[in-house]
Amino acid sequence: MHHHKYRLIVPFLFPALLLYAVFVLYPYVQAFYNSLTRWRGVSSNKTFVWFENYEKLFNDQIFITSLKHNAQMLVVLPIATLSLALLFAGLFAQAGKGVRGGEFYRIVYFFPQVMSVVIIGVLWQYIYNPRYGLLNGTLRALGLDNLARSWLGDPSTVLWAIAAVIVWQSVGFYMVIFIAGMQSIPTSFYEAATLDGASRWTSFRDITLPLLWDHIRLAIVYIAIAALDLFTIVQVMTEGRPNHASDVVARYMYDVAFTQSQFGYASAIGVVLLVMTLILSVITLRFTQRERLEF
């Protein structure tokens, strides 16, 4: 029987391996090589230049600015998203099934996650519109005219305006993940804590947070990677404007490649992005490592 099994193994694996090799593995390997070349497109020659592209990165002000924006997102997005998601999940799970309209809230909160980032981006572009946008309209209606501004046109607000949209879209997703995690915590823990006079906050801090830690660190890694890979929402909402005040590395790389046709240089930016993603994942997982609590 065993010599027959390769008649299944080979044809079953072949399509997946072929597609993966041609469209995924080969481009990645090629990208590493390209990053060491000067190359402006099909017709022109690739000149091998060693690490010239990488050296160029250090003096590229736009790259450095974009990287700074990714770093800012890296701090703001996890903090804002996790605090809101944990707050909502805590309000849901500890109140048990008792929250009136809980099912409704869960459906609503998660919905933006299902929507295409392009639709979200276009919609919020108009919400932020200085003249007829929903946000300034609301502020004016509340008599807060002096707060109204050109959210996406002002270099001091544009990045945070985009960050707010990202948080708005993803909070529901992480909330559902945390609720799933909380449901595996035995209710007897909470009952015991309540008998001991623990407040809602103390049970949350001393029972929920430690037992949910694996979910939380996973969420941190996901949000951190998303903060580094940021592309679509920025491309749709501002294309990095005004004057790169909202630019991020991946979007800048897209410009360098497909607008400026500097394919070698773009690949170097891509490699740096990959290395940063890997380092960041390892660091996050290391620093959040704790003794696993069995229950």
What interhelical angle do 213-229 and 249-258 show, nearest 10? Answer: 30
* Burial class for 260, CB neighbours closer than 10 Å (0-12, 13-18, 19+): exposed
Q: What minimum distance in Å lies between the beta carbon of 75 and other proteins?
A: 20
Q: Does 228 bind other proteins (CB under 8 A)?
A: yes
Q: What angle do CA 32, 36, 41 make, to 5 degrees?
A: 90
Q: How many CB atoms lie within 10 A of CB 224?
A: 20
Give 12 or 156: the residue with its C-beta nearer to other proteins.
12
Give 159 or 175: the residue with its C-beta nearer to other proteins.
175
The set of residues, in sequence order, having a beta carbon less than 8 Å from that of 173 and lying 6+ positions away, is 85, 110, 113
Q: Would you say 260 and 252 are in contact if contact means Cβ atoms under 8 Å apart?
A: no
Q: What minimum distance in Å lies between the beta carbon of 120 and other proteins?
A: 9
Q: Does 126 bind other proteins (CB under 8 A)?
A: yes
Q: Does 192 bind other proteins (CB under 8 A)?
A: no
Q: Would you say 248 and 228 are in contact if contact means Cβ atoms under 8 Å apart?
A: no
Instruction: In whole angstroms, give the CA distance from residue 111 to residue 94.
Output: 23
> Which x/- pattern over 93-122 shows residues binding other proteins (rule: CB under 8 A)?
--x---xxx--xxxxxxxxxxxxxxxx-xx
Q: Does 229 bind other proteins (CB under 8 A)?
A: yes
Site for other proteins in 235-264 (CB under 8 A): 235-236, 250, 253-254, 257-258, 263
Q: Which structure tokens are listed for 229?
A: 């890979």
Give 45 or 141: the residue with its C-beta nearer to other proteins.
141
- For residue 48, the surrounding DSSP H or E stretch is strand 47-48
Q: What minimum distance in Å lies between the beta carbon of 88 and other proteins?
A: 7
Site for other proteins in 7-26 (CB under 8 A): 7-9, 12-13, 15-17, 19-20, 22-26
Secondary structure (DSSP) of 256-276: HHHTT--HHHHHHHHHHHHHH
Give 163 or 177: the residue with its C-beta nearer to other proteins.
177
- For residue 37, the surrounding DSSP H or E stretch is strand 37-38
Site for other proteins in 33-92 (CB under 8 A): 34, 42, 84, 87-88, 91
Q: Does 28 bind other proteins (CB under 8 A)?
A: yes
Instruction: Tell me if residue 38 falls in helix, strand or coil.
Output: strand
Give 76 or 110: the residue with its C-beta nearer to other proteins.
110
Q: Does 31 bind other proteins (CB under 8 A)?
A: yes
Q: Does 124 bind other proteins (CB under 8 A)?
A: yes
